[in-house]
Amino acid sequence: MTTDELFAQFQNPGAAWRGKPFWAWNGRLDKAELIRQVHVMKEMGLGGFFMHSRVGLATEYLGDDWFECINACADEAEKLGMEAWLYDEDRWPSGSAGGLVTQNPEFRMRFLRCTVVPESEWAWHEGILAAFACELAADGLSYHSLRRVAPGSAVPPGFSVLEFTVEEMASSNFYNGYTYLDTMNRAATEAFLQSTHEKYVERCGDRLGKSIKGIFTDEPHRGSLMTSFGQGLGSSEWIVPWTPKMPEHWEATYGDDLLAHLPEIFLFPDGQTVHPTKWCYVELCLSLFIENFCKPLDAWCRAHNLILTGHFLHEDNLTAQVAMNGSMMRCYEHMEYPGMDLLTEGNKAFWVAKQLQSVGRQLGKPWLMSELYGCTGWQMGLEGHKNVGDWQALFGVNLRCHHLSWYTMEGEAKRDYPASILHQSAWWKDYSAVETYFARLGQLLSQGEPVCDVLVIHPVESVWAQLHPGWCNGLGPKAESIKKLETQFAELFHWLQGAQIDFDYGDEGILAEHARVDGNAFVVDQMRYKTIVIGGCTTIRSSTLRLLEAFTEAGGTLLWVGDKPQFVDALPASLPEMPGESQCLAGVEAIIEALSAAAYDRRETSRGCGVGPDFIDNPVYCQLRKLSDGSVILVGLNTDRDLPRDIGYIAVDGFGEMASVEQWDSLTAVRSAVEWEQVPDAQTNEPCQVIYVKTVPPGGQVVFVLSPSQTARPDSLPAEAIETSTELPGPFAYSLDEPNALVLDTATWELTPVDPLTPVRRGDNAEEILKIDQAVRRHFGLEVRGGEMVQPWYAEKFHGEPPVLGNLTLRFTFEVEALPEGPLALAIERPECAVITVNDTNIPSQVPEGASLVTDFWVDACFKLLPVPEGALKVGENVVTLTTSFRRDSDLEACFLLGAFGVRLDGPKRTIIPLPETLSVGDVCEQGLPFYTGGVTYKLPPPASHDSATSSGFAKGGVLELPEVGGACVRVNGQTIPWPPYTTTLPPFAARNEREPEGVASPSEPGEANNMVAVTVVLTRRNVFGPLHLVPKQQTAYGPGHWVTGGDHWSDHYQLYPSGLLAPPRLR
């Protein structure tokens, strides 16, 4: 493929390269609404979707209606050229089929517990698997004088007893009253496949592998290992995963009795903090998980022409991998499209994507999936989508699975890790710019072959050998020895990437199966490496050591960073000296010097790039791809989202002479000429390309394509000039693209139970509605709502119709200073379940025929818009009263008054006021729009004086800059600018009129009234859907619990994000 042909593809990437979100099926499904949403996703630029059961699903999972909806959406996707994908679980993690499989006790997850009991308090009981007596040191971890204890045998005085028992995982409403699956048990996995996958075969027919492309498996794992994460048992630092046949598997693998070694798994025999039994147990658990869960799923999918994708639990660091899995990279081998999960906006665990990319390169898996954007909150705008996606794309991710796109916002669903990446977000019509950007980038970075000849041995197995109670805290390290490994792991990554040295990780289990030495190359299946780097490893496999010895004897380069491992196979050992090795390198400068020396010794020019003269510890990370025609793609990313990086130039070396260098813009698909020159390399005299780049902005990306032949002439970069600028101070005329909202989320309440013996409850002081919901549920002994509640479909099928428990009256109050003009509506969920009044006026639960509507749709179909009759409001205090019969399935939620009015906040007090006539520069929350979350269009008048626009205002065009914006994105005259810099060139009016899209108002002739520019700030939904009372309002992640905080993390005052034009626009 030529460069020009590649650019044609770059301009218009297809559906395969576009994102496929988790489409959260989280309510009672309606086929027509689902089809409508498929078309919404198409308009958003998405390439497909994963049909994913989520919290709130009311349609029976795997029931008749479920499959009708699955098939209808798959058929519609096929018509639109989109991809439909399945999801293999009710919620997550995959394996239990929403508890249907684990109704069978044989298939439930189990754990082995170690309990330390003083000799004086201990007695043998029936549940003991094995017991040992020992002298326990003061640290509670080291032991001496160990002896096995049999029933009836005496324990020496002063000794401690180590008692080992097997426990079933605690049942949980998250699994609809059951547990997770024993994924180390093949029979359990077969039951899962029969309960779920085979039903899709039966009900979807020949769609599988055609209109249904594949299936997503989500967060399967082998059980938590000495950590509190995810199993619901007490003293969880003293448990490890277990399966009934574990002793048999141990004997078959290692040839001896597992029960004799149980103390060594948990504690330190004779003070040994590194021990082979710990390593062996983790390896066995991982192997059983792969053999009995991963491989059967992969084989089933391949047999049915489906692609298996998804991700395993959990990968953010070494600790998380070991706690729940053992090694992510080992599991990636058994997915056709392996994937990762990296949620939140600020997570910069770059090595997660690098692990995935490494296996993809080595084992020939070109498609790499990432589940991203979850837990980011409503306030994250499109710049956040770019920042989170950019570095993942840089490291190979080309299948983006957005977390989440909600089918509905009804009830608890609206707090299921927002925001919703669908029509509920005001920016949904702007999102195609994001999708096209990433589709171009993903396609480009999948061309040719990677330029990478460095392999870093992954240190995860060093963690295996050092486990003990207290080694971790949740999914983070706690023991100092583990913290040191984590620090070294991250440090080595940043050293290499910060010096633009690309590398792959080598998992020792994968190396044992796929690695060999070929000449002076270290080969891992499809990748060949010239240098191996080892740092931060406590132990190394003997199989890896043998490969290293053969590699160095053949002339390969081996670099030890820091101390050499002191253990082989977790046993104390001194590593042999190897020819050509560089020992105990300290710091990135020494690594670079050793790499350069090794290349010089091989008489080779190192292929790669360097960013600027000070390329060490540079936040600009790069990837290079070499194409079959000799062209080179270079992508650089400033991973610092706060500061620009002045780099001066990027030097590209080792690819021979080039005839052209172009810059390609992933957002606009414009190819431009750049300033560059070809110079001889100082060491080898080979051609080196120097591309002059002054500054990479915060979070900025650059794409360069170097070609050995001349290409079609690109556009030249415009010459920079010093220009004068004019500030546009406002105030501005404006318009809103949806009604303003008044949030009614606090109420007084009264509960009268049906049972006369149960007392009446009252809340005479206004409380937040979700806290009222919790209080009422606790009053009746019900579980509170949240992400782990029993699914509605399950409760409906197995628990039956819930009885009425009591009558509840809610009174929401607000003030009116000036009666609003025009129609009003009350946006409320399930109004048919309540009697509603505004002051003394009854509000029908159905819209009366011929009623004047403020709008026919607001945010989501779950909000029914009930007209408020003229005259219902009054100046002074107003009360909205809801009376409902409370049942287990009742959802108490905020309601919203909609109309053409303003809102003033005085602490928690809400007052309706007139809308402002104009908007000033600054936060619109303080100008009558605290809860408004749609688009605000500012109508910018011509500047009083401007060099290029004097008497005719904007008629001659210019460059418009919006220095500070509070919102998701902006539009200028209808054209989306998804992220900063919010700068656009305004063409002269005659040209602009020809280019503006239909529906965008623009002047047709000069004149003060028409000569304006429309700047729309598209807001996020944070200030209406919250969390509105969370302190501090900015968190690292957002989940259901953030709406019901208390103490120092709660405020009755509304915690809002500044919105609108926050600084004056400028024209130059």
Q: Above pLDDT 70, what percent of the chain? A: 95
- Backbone dihedral region of 949: left (phi > 0), alpha (psi from -120 to 50 degrees) or beta? beta
What is the per-residue pLDDT across 614-649, written as a single tens digit (0 to 9) for each? Answer: 767 789 999 999 999 999 999 999 999 999 999 999
User: CA of 74: how far to CAs of 286, 689, 820, in Å?
Assistant: 35, 49, 46
Residue 719 has pLDDT above 70, yes or no: no
Closest of 509, 1054, 416 to residue 742, by C-alpha: 1054
Q: How far apart are CA 800 and CA 890, in angstroms?
A: 14
User: CA of 960: how far to CAs of 334, 848, 982, 1036, in Å?
Assistant: 51, 47, 8, 33
Residue 445 has pLDDT above 90, yes or no: yes
Which tops the pLDDT comparison, 603 or 251? 251
DSSP string, 886-897: E-TT-----EEE
Structure tokens at 605: 């020019």
Beta bridge partners of 164: 114, 130
Neighbours of 154 (CB within 10 A): 9
Residue 603 has pLDDT above 70, yes or no: no
Structure tokens at 574: 């001194």
pLDDT band at 601 (very low <50, low <70, confident <90, very high): low
What is the per-residue pLDDT across 1039-1065, written as a single tens digit (0 to 9) for each? Answer: 999 999 999 999 999 999 999 999 999
Burial of 639 (0-12, 13-18, 19+ CB in 10 A): buried
Q: How far apart are CA 346 and CA 359, in angstroms?
A: 25
- Residue 703 and residue 666 in contact, taking contact as beta carbons nearer than 8 Å: yes
Q: How far apart are CA 345 and CA 422, in angstroms?
A: 18
Of the candidate ranges 28-42, 392-406, 515-529, 935-949, the one whose mean pLDDT is the lowest: 935-949
Q: How far apart are CA 309 and CA 331, in angstroms?
A: 11
Q: How far apart are CA 1023 and CA 923, in angstroms?
A: 12
Residues 6+ positions from 601 with CB-CB distance below 8 Å: none
User: CA of 220: how far to CAs of 61, 217, 331, in Å?
Assistant: 19, 7, 11
Beta bridge partners of 735: 937
Mean confidence (pLDDT) of the chain: 93
The pLDDT, as a whole number, for residue 1 is 80
The pLDDT, as a whole number, for residue 2 is 85
Q: How far apart are CA 249 and CA 182, in angstroms?
A: 15
Instruction: Look up the pTM and report it.
Output: 0.96
Closest of 84, 42, 741 to residue 422, by C-alpha: 42
Task: Give the count of alpha carbons within 13 A of 833, CB side only.
Answer: 16
The pLDDT, as a whole number, for residue 989 is 59
The structural domains of the chain, ordered by start, are 450-601 (3.40.50), 608-707 (2.60.40.1180), 727-737+918-1067 (no CATH), 740-913 (2.60.120)
Q: What angle do CA 921, 924, 925 make, to 5 degrees?
A: 145
Structure tokens at 207: 């769609």
Residue 946 has pLDDT above 90, yes or no: no
Beta bridge partners of 747: 767
Instruction: Check the CA dihedral 490-496-498-500 and report its sign.
Output: negative
Amino acid at 412: E
Phi/psi for 454 (5° steps) reads -120, 130
Q: How far apart are CA 49 and CA 22, in angstroms?
A: 6
Residues 6+ positions from 145 with CB-CB distance below 8 Å: 134, 135, 159
What is the per-residue pLDDT across 306-350, written as a single tens digit (0 to 9) for each? Answer: 999 999 999 999 999 999 999 999 999 999 999 999 999 999 999
Task: Determine the 3-state secondary structure of 57 from DSSP.
Answer: coil
Q: How far apart are CA 277 and CA 572, in angstroms?
A: 13
The pLDDT, as a whole number, for residue 685 is 86
Q: How far apart are CA 878 and CA 13, in angstroms?
A: 54
Residue 658 has pLDDT above 50, yes or no: yes
The pLDDT, as a whole number, for residue 1068 is 87
Q: In what order do the strands lie in the sheet with 239-242?
A: 239-242, 110-118, 160-168, 128-136, 142-149, 268-269
Closest of 812, 811, 837 to residue 744, by C-alpha: 812
pLDDT band at 990 (very low <50, low <70, confident <90, very high): very low
Q: Give me the mean pLDDT over the 802-810 stretch.
A: 97
Q: How far apart are CA 643 and CA 993, in angstroms?
A: 37
Residue 952 has pLDDT above 70, yes or no: no
Burial of 914 (0-12, 13-18, 19+ CB in 10 A): middle
Instruction: Check the CA dihedral 589-595-598-603 and report its sign.
Output: negative
Which strand (E) or helix (H) includes residue 763? strand 761-768
Residue 996 has pLDDT above 60, yes or no: no
Residue 960 has pLDDT above 60, yes or no: yes
**Bridging pattern class, strands 83-87 and 212-218:** parallel
Of the candidate ranges 1-5, 346-350, 541-545, 615-619, the one whose mean pLDDT is the lowest: 615-619
User: CA of 416: how far to CAs of 248, 317, 412, 493, 1042, in Å?
Assistant: 42, 25, 7, 33, 11
Of the candidate ranges 2-6, 144-148, 411-415, 891-895, the one whose mean pLDDT is the lowest: 2-6
pLDDT band at 1010 (very low <50, low <70, confident <90, very high): low
Residue 1000 has pLDDT above 70, yes or no: no
Closest of 961, 1001, 1007 to residue 983, by C-alpha: 961
- Residue 208 and residue 304 in contact, taking contact as beta carbons nearer than 8 Å: yes
Structure tokens at 425: 């977000």
What is the per-residue pLDDT across 458-488, written as a single tens digit (0 to 9) for each? Answer: 999 999 999 999 999 999 999 999 999 999 9
Neighbours of 207 (CB within 10 A): 18
Q: Give me the mean pLDDT over the 385-394 stretch.
A: 98
Q: How far apart are CA 836 and CA 845, in angstroms?
A: 8
What is the per-residue pLDDT across 677-708, written as a single tens digit (0 to 9) for each? Answer: 999 987 788 999 999 998 999 999 999 999 99
Neighbours of 754 (CB within 10 A): 12
Closest of 246, 320, 229 to residue 287, by C-alpha: 246
What is the per-residue pLDDT across 868-890, written as a single tens digit (0 to 9) for each? Answer: 999 999 999 999 999 999 999 99
- Residue 457 and residue 534 in contact, taking contact as beta carbons nearer than 8 Å: yes
Phi/psi for 302 (5° steps) reads -65, -40
Measured in whole angstroms, the distance separating CA 591 from the mean position of its chain's CA atoms is 33
- Residue 360 and residue 390 in contact, taking contact as beta carbons nearer than 8 Å: no
Task: Determine the 3-state secondary structure of 392 from DSSP.
Answer: helix
Burial of 196 (0-12, 13-18, 19+ CB in 10 A): buried
Q: Give me the mean pLDDT over the 148-159 stretch.
A: 94
pLDDT band at 1007 (very low <50, low <70, confident <90, very high): very low
- Residue 774 and residue 1044 in contact, taking contact as beta carbons nearer than 8 Å: yes
Q: At what angle do helices 432-444 and 382-394 cross, to 10 degrees?
A: 10
Note the helical H segments in 694-753. none
- Backbone dihedral region of 230: left (phi > 0), alpha (psi from -120 to 50 degrees) or beta? left
Q: What angle do CA 368, 371, 373 make, to 5 degrees?
A: 135
